[in-house]
Amino acid sequence: MKNKQPTLVIKVGGRFFDELLEQSEHKHPLLHAIKQLQTSGARVVLVHGGGDQVQAQLKALNLQSDKINGLRVTPLHHMPVVAGVLSGYLNKTLVAQAGGLGLSGVGLSLADGDMTRCTPISEALGAVGEPHPNSAVLLNALLAQGMLPIVASIGADDSGQLYNVNADHGAICVAQLLDAQLYLLSDVSGVLDASRQKLPHLSAQTAQQLIVDGVITDGMMVKVRAAQEAADALQQAVTIGSWNDVAALSTGNNSFGTQILPATTT
């Protein structure tokens, strides 16, 4: 039976952590918004990446890091660094900051509770995995107790190999597990058109044209394609927005972000 409480999966990336630490004394506005959402009865899962921090640590260790179509090439010998930054320092920093606001954060990875199983995306990308939904038991148990699962984008396959997972893909997988509303947040208000104006909604056809025209590129291209896949799989709109516009998020304001519509939407 579908849970009657609204369930939200919120994803943030590396730049969020810069703001999180800058505003640590008063806590980031997103954490306040999550607390308000929980108070109103919503179940919230927070999924995070941390590409900027991973890149900085790899550089400090003189490890070359490249990207292909917005995805970080991750040789196996990079995984101790990648997993350490994402599932270690960043995850526990976010748990600690949430706790400082009275939120009961629980730090996890995509491998915990067997919630996902990964398969490699391509040989060229190395240990970069595509996550597949597997079990919602752990997440539902934590949510039932009013906890805030905070999930780092590190997964594993059937043999126990760790994988670096694009955090957008990880958040989509969690949203599929929980049949949840999905919010992919960054420091951009939404998807911008050629005039740098936010689009309130975006169809699959228009998104593809903007990619062909070079308006949507790099990380946003990965995000839009991932959101489109999620919208099609969930058969509901997926929101791309900014963690700095959280007042609209916590009040359910329809002006928040860009709604990525399922391909079947006319």
Residue 2 among the catalytic residues: no
Residue 35 among the catalytic residues: no
Q: Tell me if 164 is assigned to a ligand binding site.
A: yes
Q: Tell me if 170 is assigned to a ligand binding site.
A: no
Catalytic hit among 14, 113, 126, 219: 14
Instruction: Based on DSSP, count helices (H) and strands (E) in the chain, helices before strands.
Output: 10, 14
Name residue 186's beta-bridge partners. 242
| Per-residue exposure over 196-215, b if at least 16 CB sit within 10 Å of its own CB, e if not | eebbebbbbeebeebeeeeb
Catalytic hit among 13, 35, 49, 51: 51
Q: Tell me if 51 is assigned to a ligand binding site.
A: yes
Catalytic hit among 13, 223, 241, 257: 223
Catalytic hit among 11, 155, 157, 241: 11
Catalytic hit among 168, 170, 219, 257: 168
Instruction: Locate 208 and state its tokens.
Output: 């593809």
Residue 168 among the catalytic residues: yes
Residue 14 among the catalytic residues: yes
Residue 51 among the catalytic residues: yes
Residue 178 CA to residue 8 CA, distance in Å, equals 9
Residue 174 CA to residue 61 CA, distance in Å, equals 32
- Binding-site residues, please? 50-51, 72, 164
Active-site annotation, residues:
11, 14, 51, 168, 223
- Binding-site residues for substrate, please? 50-51, 72, 164
